[in-house]
Amino acid sequence: MDEPFVGLDPKAAHILKEMMREHCNNGGAIFFSTHVLEVAEKLCDKVAIIKQGKLVKIGTMEEVKGDDSLEEVFLELEAE
């Protein structure tokens, strides 16, 4: 899914998030891209950050962000 929450009103976004969680809780997986890092941080178990077409960070959410927020990690990578 590419930016699945763009253009959705808050109720529709909430319903989609519930559907995504249910799918994953039932053993499925979803690959989606987003620039809304707070959404990724709340929904994802694993995360990958791509910079200029190259995979620069990948792992579980805890491995990638450590004690920082995903936004802080992203901004640090952008500064490099």
Please give, one letter per residue, the 3-state secondary structure of 11-49: HHHHHHHHHHHHHHHCCCCCCCECCCHHHHHHHCCEEEE
Specify the residue for token string 């450590």.
66
Specify the residue for token string 């490099």.
80
Specify the residue for token string 């976004």.
13
Instruction: Look at residue 49 in the predicted model and tell me its pLDDT.
Output: 92
Residue boundaries of the structural domains of the chain: 10-79
Decide if pLDDT at 78 tops 90. Answer: no
Decide if pLDDT at 80 tops 90. Answer: no
Instruction: Look at residue 64 in the predicted model and tell me its pLDDT.
Output: 95
pTM: 0.77
The arithmetic mean of pLDDT across residues 44-60, rounded, is 93
The arithmetic mean of pLDDT across residues 16-37, rounded, is 94
Between CA 54 and CA 25 the distance in angstroms is 30
Confidence tier at 68 by pLDDT (50, 70, 90): very high
